[in-house]
Structure 1
Amino acid sequence: MKIAIVTFQGFNELDSFIAAGMLNRMQPHGWEACITSPSEQITSMNGVTVRAQQPLEFANQADVVLFGSGVMTRDFANDPELLARLQLNPARQLIGAQCSGTLLMARLGLIDKLPACTDQRTKPWVEQAGIEVLDAPFHASGNLATAGGCLAAQYLASWVMLKRSSETATREALDYVVPVGEKASYTNKLLDTVRPFISG
């Protein structure tokens, strides 16, 4: 299972790193989540610089593509040359985004008629793209998902796990990351949030 965590300059660390960290707990099952970017190096909104593990075009081959957010996402969403490098296919790929990453999905024509989740700052821009914005942390339809709020990365990751693996394997992976003393309740909350969207 190849997973592209699409990450741009000015990225939000919580979006990219939480999703990557959680999904890489599935490595014993052959999963690999990679920070994927059009730049060899990317610097976060708080000055953390990392090296991309895969180029942007890796997203076109990946089984799962997740868009994080960042302070420059609106600029990237208005860059036709950059968007043209992404040839995604929701018929075979799981594709998700959170916060301003939802704007990228909108610009790529992936959620034209679907409601979506995003953060409050991005909400007007997504609505300008003709998308209904929900007051919810997570929503999915088929192979497409969106989430609102930095910590909603955990819902995207849990959705991917449950959608592409068993509940047993998902619970085993989550057991490493959920808070001690709250393992059962926290895991159940994550799964209860995404489970209604698994079969649709």
Structure 2
Amino acid sequence: MYLLEGCIDEVKDADAVLITSGGSVPQLIGDPDYLSRLRLSPNRQIIGAMCSGALILAALGLLTGKEATTYPTRRQLLSEYDVTVVDKDFVPHERIATAAGCLAAQNLCEWMIASLLGRDMAPKVLRTIQPVGKGL
């Protein structure tokens, strides 16, 4: 396992992938070349998306027929992809999960750590990044 922050063509080799939001997401989901280069494998990888990053998973067909969440301003667009959009901060499905907004990133990280390293490891790791006075 390794941390990867690099070219889109390298995503296929990662054990875990987090897709975040950004102003370019609406353009990316309409770009077949970009989507074809983003080769994700939910049978092998742990895949999470936060905010409008869920739109990328939906455009790839990874959320078809599933419940998912996203940032409130992107819910309508997400629902156009045969996805049941729910009003929750975090929605996991085995090896794929979505988080509604930046403040739900902790839920997404906890799920990813537990998926990769085990449930007992997640609180240990998250404890190291908690704000002062907040504990797990």
> With structure 2 as the length reference, what TM-score do the two structures score?
0.94
Q: Counterparts in 2 of 1:24-173, with a 5 A limit?
A: 32=3, 34-35=4-5, 54-173=6-125
CA contact (8 A) 2:110 2:123 kept: no
Per-residue deviation, 1:84? 0.7
AA aligned to 2:118 is S
Per-residue deviation, 1:166? 2.8
What is the SS of the residue equivalent to 1:145?
Answer: strand
Q: Please give the alpha-carbon distance, in whole angstroms, between the structure 1 residues aligned to 2:133 and 2:42.
A: 38
Name the structure 2 match of 1:42: none
Per-residue deviation, 1:170? 2.0
Decide which structure has the larger Cα Rg and report it. Answer: 1
Runs (4+) of structure 1 moved beyond 3 Å? Answer: none
Q: Please give the alpha-carbon distance, in whole angstroms, between the structure 1 residues aligned to 2:16 and 2:88.
A: 22
**Percent pairwise identity:** 35
Q: Counterparts in 2 of 1:13-24, with a 5 A limit?
A: none
AA aligned to 1:147 is A
**Structure 1 unaligned blocks of 5 or more:** 3-31, 36-53, 188-200
Provide the aligned length of Structure 1 versus Structure 2. Answer: 136
AA aligned to 2:90 is F
CA contact (8 A) 2:69 2:90 kept: yes
Name the structure 2 match of 1:24: none
Q: Please give the alpha-carbon distance, in whole angstroms, between the structure 1 residues aligned to 2:70 and 2:127.
A: 27
What is the SS of the residue equivalent to 1:121?
Answer: helix
> With structure 1 as the length reference, what TM-score do the two structures score?
0.65
Name the structure 2 match of 1:180: 132
